[in-house]
Amino acid sequence: MKADETGPSLQVSHDLLRTESYNYDLPEGHIAQVPAEPRDSSRLLVLKRDAGRIEHRSFRNIVDYLLPGDLLVLNDARVIPARLYGTKTGGTARSEIFLLRALDPLWKRWEALVRPGRRLQPGISVLLDGGACVTVGECLPDGLRVVTFPETLDIHDFIDRAGQVPLPPYIHNSTINPGRYQTVYAKNEGAVAAPTAGLHFTEPLLDEICSMGIEVARLTLHVGIGTFRPVKEADIRQHPMHEEFFEIPKEAAERVNAARQDGRRVIAVGTTVVRALEASSQIWTCRPGIDQTKLFIYPGYRFKVIDALITNFHLPKSSLLMLVSAFAGHEATMGAYHAAVRENYRFFSFGDAMFII
Domains, the chain, ranges and CATH? 14-79+177-356 (3.40.1780.10), 83-162 (2.40.10.240)
Cα of 84 vs its chain's centroid, Å: 21
Per this entry, what is the length of the chain? 357
C-alpha separations of 16 from 21, 34, 230 in Å: 6, 33, 16
C-alpha separations of 244 from 15, 79, 111, 327 in Å: 28, 14, 12, 21
pLDDT tens figures, 202-223: 999 999 999 999 999 999 999 9
Q: Which of these, 25, 54, 14, 61, lies nearest to 40 by C-alpha position?
A: 61
Report which secondary-structure segment, H or E, holds 271.
Answer: helix 271-280
Q: What is the mean pLDDT of the chain?
A: 93
Question: Beta strands of 10-52 (E only): which ranges?
Answer: 43-48
- Contact, 75 vs 272, CB < 8 A? yes
Report which secondary-structure segment, H or E, holds 205.
Answer: helix 203-211
- Contact, 219 vs 110, CB < 8 A? no
Residues 313-318 have a mean pLDDT of 96
Looking at residue 228, its pLDDT comes to: 66
Residue type, 40: D
Report which secondary-structure segment, H or E, holds 54.
Answer: strand 53-58
Looking at residue 11, its pLDDT comes to: 78
Q: Contacts for 169-178 with beta carbons within 8 Å, 24 or more apart?
A: 169/228, 170/31, 170/348, 170/349, 171/31, 171/32, 171/33, 171/348, 171/349, 171/350, 172/33, 173/33, 173/34, 176/34, 176/35, 178/81
What percentage of the chain carries pLDDT values higher than 90? Answer: 85
Cα of 286 vs its chain's centroid, Å: 20
**Is pTM beyond 0.75 here?**
yes
> How does strand 353-356 pair with strand 43-48?
parallel
Report which secondary-structure segment, H or E, holds 114.
Answer: strand 109-115
* 56 beta partners: 45
Residue 3 has pLDDT above 50, yes or no: no
pLDDT tens figures, 93-116: 899 999 999 999 999 999 999 999
